[in-house]
Structures are given as structure tokens and as C-alpha cells.
Chains A and B, each alone.
Chain A
Amino acid sequence: MQRMFLRKLTGAGITLLCATLILFVLIRLAPGDPVKLHLGPSSDVALDSTEAYDQRVAELRTQLGLDRSIFAQYTTWMKRLLQLDLGTSIHTGRAVGSELADRLPATLALAVAALAIQLALGLVLGTASALKADRLQDNVIRLACVVLASAPAFVIGLFLLSFFAVSLHVYDISNEARPERLWLPAVTLGAMGAPNLIRIIRANLLAELGQPYVLSALSRGLARKLVVRHALRNALLPVVTVAALSFIGLIGGAVVIESIFSWPGIGKYALDSILLKDYPAIQGYALVVIAMVVAIHLLVDVVYLFLDPRIRRGREGDVHA
């Protein structure tokens, strides 16, 4: 067990290292000069000579180490990382670590709330859909799933924002991460992610309900509610993986929703940084997200060991063999 855990941890470390290297190179291959984007155009009145501007660009590039080779830049970044320093944002001049730390709680709060809504909708509607398979209720739920899964995030987000903020005046459009502003982006993200879970729970539950042990239990007179509960428990195992993947997506990919709701999380920070080619900020964001992805995958593997005795026994068998 310990050996397996150690192996996974080593694999996670290597994944993280490779991912940072690929990312480091890729963002530098993208067009755009971060220094020129930071300084902006030479002025709102064009210059009759660009000499001083070009000189300032060159100075700043040297100051930021961008005139060195990519390998040299990567080595410097890694050295800083080992000291838990993510570097300094070109655009704000602040430490990337503290900028991310300021925004991460907002993103985590949004992701946890959205995941909870997703799971609640998935469990309730997925179960209802399976229990009433091919009946009106099931068809309505499936249709709603298709609509939610196919509508773009910005359409649903703007519609809900317009309805609750402009028509009902029950939502406040600002850019602060206050608890009373969490519900609407969370509901939007939760509702958009729910169809996947609903469909998985429905399919798994239908498969479980067709198993011989269910038929046997029912024929022996066990209450239907109790049988469904047992079947649901067995149907939920894949949901752990889907929920974990969904959580990762919510952390790293809620960019559109964070932007529409002006929710000051790391998604919006990443978007701003990408537009400005703020290398240290993009690298810092990507590192944190990749680290979280790796950690969550690791956690899912461990959780599986505890949730599914078959896997645990299989591993133990391997070790003994």
C-alpha cells in the first residue's frame, strides 16, 4: 500500500515537472511581447521617433530576464520555485503567489458550491430519471439535460444575470467575492455541469436495477426503497471520478463564468494575464492548477481504495503475490 502510494506520488511529481516545462516553452512561443503589452502603445499620441521607447522596452526586457534563453529563464524559475516563489507579475509588480492566494479562496468557494449543486441535482434528478425511465418525468429531465449541456456558458450566465440582477433586483453586480454574491455563479456552473452526472447516475442505476441481486431482493419481499438505496450506493462509484474531474474543471475552467459574474477568482486572473502575456502570472496560475489536478487525481485513487473493497483486495493480492 505504502509502496503504491509512493509510486503514485513520484508519478505525480514527474507529471508536474513535465507539465511546467511544456507550458513554460509554449507560452513563450505564442505571439506577443509581454513588455510591449505592459507598456502599452508608445502613447495616445504617436511618437516621431521610437528610439526612447525601444530603449525602455529593451531595459525592461533585461530587467525581467526575458532577453535570456528559454532554458536559462526556466532554470531561474525552477530555482525560485524551490524557494516557494512564483515570481513577480510583470503587469502589477506584485508577487504572483500572493495574487493567487488572494483569489484562490474565491475560486474554491465557487467550485465547492457549484460541485455541491451539481451533485445534488445529479443525485436527485438522475435517480428520479432512472426510477421513472421512459416516462414523462424522465423525458423532461433528459430534455433539460440536453438544453443545459448544449447552451454556451455565456448565454446561460448572461440570461440569469439579467433576470436576477436587472428584472428581479435580487443580485448585486459588482466585482467582490462576497458570500451573498456566490449563489448565482454557483447555480449557473452547477446547473451546467449537472447533465453529465444526471446521465451517468441514470445509466448506472438502471444497470444496477437490472442486476440479479436486485431482482432477488425484491422477490424476497425487501422494501423497494431499501433495494433502490443499495443499488444507488453501487451505482455511485464512477460518480466519484466524474465529480473529481468536474471539480478540476470548475477550478481551472470557470473562466467564462468568473468573467461574466465579475467573480474575482483565479480564472479571471488567468484570463487577464493571458491577454497581457504576463508570463510569471500565467506560469503561476498553471502550476497551481496542474498541482491541484495532480493532487485530486491522487486523492481519487486513494478514495477508490477505501470505497471499493474489490480494488483494495486486488492490490493486496498483487502485493502478496
Chain B
Amino acid sequence: MNTIAEHIADFLKEYPPFNNLTFQELSDIATNIRVHNLEKHAILFQNNDVLHDSFYVVASGVINLTTIADAEETIINKCHEGDIFGLRPFFAKNNYMMTAKAREESIIYAIPIAVFRPFVANNSDVLNFLLESFSINSRHTKDNANSNGKLIPESAYIDQQSEMQYVQSLVYNNSPLTTEGHHIVKDVAILMTEAMVDNIVVCEKNHPIGIVTDADLSSKIATGRYPITETIDKIMSSPVVTVIENVSLAEAQLLMLKHNVSHLCVTKDGTSKSSVKGIISEHDLIVAQASNPGVLIKEIKRSQLPKDLKQIRDRLSDLIQNSIQKNIPISHISNIASEINLAIIKRAVELSILDLGSPPARFAWLSIGSQGRKEQLLLTDQDSILIFEDVTPEKYREVKDYFLRLGKRTTAILEKVGYEYCPNGHMGSNMLWCKSLTDWTKQYNSWMNTPGENSNDLSSIFFDYEIVFGEPKIEEVIENVIFKNAVNNTLFFDFLGNDALKRNSPLSFFKKFIVEEEGPHKTKFDIKTRALMPLIDSARLLILNANIKGIKNTYLRFKQLAITDSKNAEIYLSCAEAFLTLSKFRTVEGLKNDDSGQYINLREMSKTDKEKLKNALNPMKDLEELIKSKFQLTQFS
């Protein structure tokens, strides 16, 4: 009896591969565990270290796995609570090929290989999981197996990679719809429609004798070859191709090609003479293979829980990281990322509506700030507003109440997904920012016509918005209000101009970076407020002034300005490029540290990178002059 061993067993049983073992087995394993504490930046093992006699499970904290290629440290993976790593001793004899370093103070469990090996040998699920994890290092990036592999210039590693593809197991529908041969086609079709599936297995004594898919229905019923009152066994495809449980991706693919079918029936012993366990569709294969944006969006639309959304958001981070490492242009990445973010927020609103019932009035949920500009690459805080159509005074209270609840629920879901609440409360759940259309119109009128007077809370982020959910007309109305007010509104532009230029400059007189002088980010460079914000603010100011609607992205705004205001095209274009470069620096930093990337650690930067960063800051000076002359700003508040 060992209390702590049981606690550890309790912890382990939540995570694969341990969830395949019994509690007693886990307790035995836990008894043999050693618990290590790693201080921040402590190294557990390094590239080329002799293998340890244990593998590791993260109990708390984050461990970064990195390799060194071309003299550059590349993060292969981040291991979070419950992830396993350091599996090399199971499968290979040569030294470690990566470095495991604590990103923050971490506690890890060391499980001796000798203790765990018998469980691996006796349990194929455990073996498969370990094999898979070995090649990709951590389970939550399962889908990126291919792209991760390419980062590592180890031939041995890549071999394992393709091997992995082969053994990668499939997730499929394991409670398929079944029916019996004597049922009527129409009833079966109704059943399928209700369950929203495209296939049904026809069974006899629970053994599969055939399958009916949408294709059968369209080719045999819709064409009139069989009447709709026929029994189902007349139109089913038979025999059905059966496979055993735990079929691998590659095997399933081959079988489908060989038999030219779109579905495989999983049975207990793999023959058609045993009970049905599940159905694998082509779609399952695609999902298993790809973590491409399309699949992510599709999955978002189907998610039911914040947890599912969170997992998808995590995969998006992996996708972003891989894309950056592959040098895909940042404008491209941010387009994709913002579409996915948009889909997540939209789904969050939908889920809330599903909970609360249909809204009592038409409304629009707008993302503001970075997501409104479609520039959100990292998990930053959420900014949103809610506008609902005007209702009669007696209904107003009830309606506002509903939308406030909707706002609260949605923001809470998003918080669970990983978007922090806005520290300034700029969210649709806030009384102030959940208003009727008339109130919003008044709000914008007062902001724009009397800036700075009774509007301390005028935040320029309200001028970047993007509809996420609801009635597009409402967004149009607000847009018209803004642009109508903007015409010849010197006061407003004066205000915005001063706001854009009041930020501290990024470089000192001697072209040195101005870094934080105190606080937790001492000696780091604040790329967000010193470099990105001025560009973003300026772009917004200029585009509003030029009265150009519908362009919401800073990069595109500069591009558009270069066309409209062609005599200054050069400045605008260099700003557009600079913006991309700076965003990339910020994103890379943010991914490295799992934060918003606001502060860049200059000491960790190479000399060329520093030069690049400095060059990206150069166009700002010209832009500042341009704004000053354009809006005749001579003095600054």
C-alpha cells in the first residue's frame, strides 16, 4: 500500500497509453516511478547524451523538445501535462537525438523502461501508441506527423515516420446504424436521414450481410429501378468488405482501393461472421491524414464542446508553427488562421444559442481589434461587441437580458478554448458593449464628433470590426455611420493621429533598440506597442481618411493606400512589408514562449535577425512624417 503511488496511478490513467492499463498495473508502475523537479531552463537530456534507463511523463509544467539543425535550435514539440517523451530507449540503442529542456519549472515522472517493457509487449494498443508518439513525440500533434518529420534531417527518423503512417490507427464511427434485411427502403432512408449518416449496415443476427449507402439509394431508388417500398436487402451492396478492429490507415486505404468501396465494416474478428463493431468511411481516412485548414474548419462546425474547440485551436497553433518554419508567407498564414479563428468564434456563438434558445431579435456579433483585422495568429485576448436590432421599449429589457447572457456564455466558451478575457472588458458580455443599433449609432457619433470629451474609453480597436455571426446589414449600418462621420472630420482625425503617434519610438537616437527598463520584461523589446501598434493605428487612420470601405487588414490597407495615394506609394509599400516582418517576429516569439509574443528577447536573437528587425522599423519614421504633414499635426498632447 503506497498512497502516493496510487495518486500517480490516478493521474496516469487519464492519459494514453496508460489508459489501456488496469489500475492495478498502473499502481505497480507508479510504485517504480522516480519524481524529478526541473527548474526553468533545466536540461533533462541533450542531443547525443547516452540514453537514460527511463522514459518520462510530464506531471506539471512544459518541456520543450528541440533539435539542432544548421546551427539553429528548432522546437519539435512542446510536452504538456500528461504527455510522454524520451521514448528512444524503447526502440533504439544509439544516443538521444534531441534535447529536452524545461520551458517552465516542471515536475516529471521517470518510468523505468525495464518496468514498463512487459506492458508494451503484452498490449498492442500501448505499443502502437508508443511507436506513434516516438515518431511525433507527443500525441496532440498526431495529425502533423508528416510535416514535423521533415524538420529533422535524420534519415533514421524519417524511416520511422513512414513506418508510422503505416501503423497509425484510425478513429472511426464505432456505433454504426444497423438494420435488418426485411425492412422497407423508405423506413431505412428515414432512419439514415434522422441520424444524419450516409450509410447503414444490414445485419442478420448481428452479422453484417450488406451495406446501403447514399450511392445505393441514388442509383437504385432515385432512378426508379426499385420501388421505395422494396425491402432493403434487394438494394444493399453485398457482401460488405469487413476488417478487423485496429486496422491501420494504410491498410484501410488499400482495401478501399482494392474493392472499390467507400466504406469498410469493422467486425469483431474481421470476417463477416461476427458482430459489427464500427464503420470506416473515406472521410475518416482523410481526417486521419490531414490537419489541413479545411478539415479543421469542418471539425469546428461539428464540435459540441469547448474542449473540442480547444483541441482544434491547439492544432491551429501547430499548423501556424509549421507554416512559419516552412517559410509560407505570413499574409497567407494569417488569412488561414483568421478564418479558423472566425469559425471557432462563430461556433462558440452557435453553441451558446443552442443552449439559450433562439434569439428574440436579429443581432450581429462583431469581432473587434486584431481578430477584426484578421491578424490574429497567436492566442490573444478576445475583443468583441454585440449589436441587436431596435425593439419596442417594453421588450427592450428582456431582449438586452438575452443578449447579455448570450455574450457571457460565448465569452466563457472562448475563454475555455484559450482566448483570455479582454482585460479592458471590451467584450459582448459587457453591458456597455452589448447594445441596440440606435445606441451604437449614438456611441459612434459621440466618439467621432466629440473625441476625447466624455469618451475616455474610446479605444481605436472599435474601428476594426468584422462580423462573425448574425445579420450582415447591421454591420453595414455601423460602417455607414463611421464613414459618414469621418468625412472632413478634422477633430476626429486629429485625435486619432495624435493617438497613433504618441507611442514611444522603437529606436533611440543612436539606432539602438529601446528596451523595457523595468518590470518583468526588463531588457526585452516591446514589439507590440513600439512597432506594430503605430503601424496598425496609422493604417487605420489613413484608410478612414481616404474613405475606403471594406479593407480591414493592415497589410492590405497599406497596399490599397499605395494605389490610391500613389505619390507616397513607396512609403506605404515598405510599411506593408515591415508590418509582415514584424508580425512574423512576434509570432515566432509568441509560439516559442506560449504567450502573446509582445516582448522580444533580443539576447536570444541572432545578429542578422536583429538587423532585419531594425530595418523593419525604418519605414516608421517616414510614415510619421507623412501623417504629420497630412493632418497638420504639429503639437502632440
- Do A and B bind? no
Q: Which residues of A contact B (CB under 8 A)?
A: none
Q: Which residues of B contact A (CB under 8 A)?
A: none
